Amino acid sequence: MTSYVLAVDVGTTGTRAILFTHDAKIFAVHHEETTQSFPEPGHVEQDPAELWEKTRACVEVVLSKISHTSDDVVAVGVTTQRETVIAWDKKSGLPLAPAIVWQDTRTQEWLEMTFDATKQQRITELTGLPVTAYFSASKMRWLLDNCADVAAAAEDGNLAFGTPDSWIAWNLTGGVDGGRHITDVTNASRTMLMNIETLSWSDELITLFNIPRATLPEITSSTGDLAVCGDLLRGAPLTCILGDQQAAAFGQAATSPGDAKTTYGTGNFLLINTGTLARSAHGLISTVAYQLADHEPVYALEGSVAVSGSLVQWLRDNLHIIEKSADVEALATSVDDSGDVYFVPAFSGLFAPYWKPDARGTIVGLTRFSTKAHIARAALESTAFQTRDVIDAAEKDTGIALHELRVDGGMVSNDFLMQFQADIANIPVVRPVITETTALGAAFGAGLAVGFWKDTRELETHWIEDRRWEPSMTDEERHHRISRWQKAVSKSIGWLDD
Ligand SMILES: Nc1ncnc2c1ncn2[C@@H]1O[C@H](COP(=O)(O)OP(=O)(O)OP(=O)(O)O)[C@@H](O)[C@H]1O
Ligand SMILES: [Mg+2]
């Protein structure tokens, strides 16, 4: 009998299922790209039915690689994109509206009109989050106010709200046949409805946003006997739920205070483990890193950057200057430098550390000399500049100088970007053998809960370095480039002010 842990990773760009072996190797993996729609400026939507159908398809494919009689899935971990809101009918099991994705900014004006500075400060105190459209609560409010089916289901007592982890867990555990309506503390910490200290729904926040209490999932720890899966997984135990960025940090074995990672996916997310709850004075947010079974929670500071890999998709889908994402590297390196072109991809405003909802995407420094190659290069460089900005904030907040940056996610196969990141941040950038750290983190959590792996020490032994990029830029050049970037950022801010 061979035992495996199954991780399901429902990202923004795509969904994957991976079976991990006891030595933390990938035995089987299946990936499906998922559709994002942009029906109007600022609106970003996904189809909840597609998220679940593609997840189910991925699970079926990897399960077909093992034998039904002699192999076993001992635990299941679920990790998903965070903040995105899904509304469904508990009776029919059907979604009631498109998912409003984390990058969607449609509720920004409502937030600014509804909450004055004092109220905003209070919300931040309770949640550790700046009051912006990024988080879930205002998206739930929008659905209740603008979608008749959602409002009617709330009236009838059939409405379930959830972040994608809740939707996937509910479906995996049986859906209309007894599915559990749950979420873990890491995902709940991004809704703007959970008290970051008590780890329960806050009556004060629920009242402020006017969300019916009964529509919200039950908050659980990140690991433990959370629920039992339905027929698809033949009753395997669901023992881990984690937000994708927290899962990536766990998969990078960032389990001690000061450990940090950056994931380069749709957006870029730096998490630095702080152990206990820390508050940022430099534009980072306080978040729960994980809570193992009945242990105390572990906290992190996070630098969330909205647009990185999705800018590469934008070059592909909107400008058509590349055919596939990986082609961006050849185009960007076909020129010696960006030709003093800077690209600030503030498509959803600027997130950390600026939190400027009124910013919009800006390309500056164009001349008749500029080509699509310069724009592609500036686009990749913007990912590294944005990440440097949040590293800088993390170092100021914690007083710890990062000695290296552990990286993962779809963009880390880009050698040019990784070298430029090391140069601009002036620290070594380190990539592990398994770059699917989001799924690995969910598998680690699920496996720990059933004793498949003993403790976090054992997990650390499975973290193996693959490649390292050392900084090689002169101080003068680096300072010059950073100051040009900062000037470009200042040009993007305030675009929406009237
Ligand atoms: N070689 C490459 N160079 C630059 N970007 C790339 C490259 N390959 C993939 N990407 C980008 O990486 C992103 C996909 O990364 P990943 O698979 O980690 O995303 P995801 O997990 O689906 O999304 P997320 O976790 O952010 O919700 C895409 O936006 C894609 O454009
Ligand atoms: Mg991901």
**Residue 233 vs residue 167, higher pLDDT:** 167
Q: pLDDT at residue 36 above 70?
A: yes
Give the nearest ligand 1 atom to 380 CA. Answer: 4
Distance between CA atoms of 462 and 433, rounded to whole angstroms?
10
pLDDT in tens, 88-139: 999 999 999 999 999 999 999 999 999 999 999 999 999 999 999 999 999 9
Cβ neighbourhood burial of 337 (10 Å; 0-12, 13-18, 19+): exposed
* Residues 51/99, Cβ–Cβ less than 8 Å: yes
Instruction: Give me the amino acid identity at 428.
Output: P
State mean pLDDT over 262-281: 94
Give the nearest ligand 1 atom to 409 CA. Answer: 18
| pLDDT range class, residue 70, cuts 50, 70, 90 | low
* Residues 345/482, Cβ–Cβ less than 8 Å: no
| pLDDT range class, residue 498, cuts 50, 70, 90 | low
Ligand in closest contact with the CA of 32 = 1
Give the nearest ligand 1 atom to 15 CA. Answer: 22
**Residue 460 vs residue 84, higher pLDDT:** 84
Q: pLDDT at residue 71 above 70?
A: no
Helix (H) or strand (E) run with residue 74 in it: strand 71-80
| pLDDT range class, residue 341, cuts 50, 70, 90 | very high
Tell me the domains of the chain and their CATH numbers: 2-252 (3.30.420.40)
Helix ranges (DSSP H) in 115-230: 117-127, 136-146, 148-156, 164-172, 185-188, 203-209
Q: Which residues line ligand 1 (CB under 6 A)?
A: 11-14, 81, 244, 265-267, 309-310, 312-313, 325-326, 328-329, 409-411, 413-414
Q: What is the mean pLDDT of the chain?
A: 95
At 141, phi and psi to the nearest 5? Answer: -60, -40
Contacts of 485 (CB under 8 A, 6+ apart): 342, 381, 382, 385
Distances (CA, A) of 19 to 63, 242, 322, 452: 8, 17, 33, 13
* Residues 173/227, Cβ–Cβ less than 8 Å: yes
* Residues 229/237, Cβ–Cβ less than 8 Å: yes
Distance between CA atoms of 27 and 13, rounded to whole angstroms?
23
Please give the model's pTM, rounded to 2 decimal places.
0.92
pLDDT of residue 25: 93
Residue owning the nearest CA to atom 21 of ligand 1 = 11
State mean pLDDT over 339-347: 97
Peptide bond into 48 cis (omega under 30): no
Distance between CA atoms of 228 and 174, rounded to whole angstroms?
9
Peptide bond into 164 cis (omega under 30): no
pLDDT in tens, 176-232: 999 999 999 999 999 999 999 999 999 999 999 999 999 999 999 999 999 999 989
State mean pLDDT over 467-489: 97
> Pairing state of beta strands 260-264 and 285-290?
unpaired
**Residue 235 vs residue 211, higher pLDDT:** 211
Distance between CA atoms of 268 and 190, rounded to whole angstroms?
16
Ligand in closest contact with the CA of 307 = 1
pLDDT in tens, 129-173: 999 999 999 999 999 999 999 999 999 999 999 999 999 999 999
Distance of CA 438 from the midpoint of ligand 2 (Å)? 6
* Residues 432/252, Cβ–Cβ less than 8 Å: yes
pLDDT in tens, 285-301: 999 999 999 999 999 99
Distance of CA 312 from the midpoint of ligand 1 (Å)? 8
Give the nearest ligand 1 atom to 14 CA. Answer: 22
Collapsing DSSP to helix, strand or coil, 228 comes out as strand
